[in-house]
């Protein structure tokens, strides 16, 4: 069984009495491990950002690095990018105006608006 780190001592109980009682009640050996909630939440966020960057990379025809940079500033869909200007993208991504213009054009083509 996995519990949040702040609940670990409660789950185990004084000298393991809660764990032993649980084992007796359910008839199985119980192993209690702590879960670092912050690390788990961080891993989920990183995974979601990676998925968004991959999707955006394909939709816009840009590199994974550019897509990751867009996701990192909160632009994780073509619908959000179409509201930006070329100057906005140049400033956020450090890319050329031509690349920014290509990104905007691709976002407009792929936007559901």
CATH of the domain at 58: 1.10.150
Do 112 and 79 contact (CB within 8 A), yes or no? yes
Tell me, yes or no, whether 26 and 73 share the same domain: no
Tell me, yes or no, whether 13 and 47 share the same domain: no
Q: How confident is the model at residue 3 (pLDDT cuts 50, 70, 90)?
A: low
* Distance (Å, whole) CA 106 – CA 61: 8
What is the predicted pLDDT for the residue at 35? 61
Is the pLDDT score of 75 beyond 80? yes
Q: What does residue 84 show for φ and ψ, rounded to 5 degrees?
A: -85, 165
Mean pLDDT of the 27-32 span: 76
Angstrom CA distances, 77 to 18, 32, 42, 53, stand at: 48, 41, 21, 9
What is the predicted pLDDT for the residue at 39? 66
Give the residue carrying structure tokens 């780190």.
5
Domain range enclosing 88: 43-110
Tell me, yes or no, whether 49 and 87 share the same domain: yes
């Amino acid at each position: 069984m996995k519990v949040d780190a702040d609940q670990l001592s409660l789950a185990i109980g004084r000298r393991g009495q809660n764990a032993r009682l649980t084992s007796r009640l359910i008839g199985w050996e119980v192993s209690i491990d702590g879960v670092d909630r912050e690390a788990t939440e961080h891993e989920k966020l990183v995974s979601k950002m990676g998925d968004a960057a991959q999707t955006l990379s394909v939709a816009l025809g840009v590199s994974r690095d550019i897509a990751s940079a867009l996701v990192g500033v909160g632009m994780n869909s073509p619908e959000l990018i179409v509201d930006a200007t070329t100057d906005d993208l140049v400033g956020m991504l450090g890319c050329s105006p031509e690349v920014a213009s290509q990104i905007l054009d691709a976002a407009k083509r792929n936007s559901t608006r």
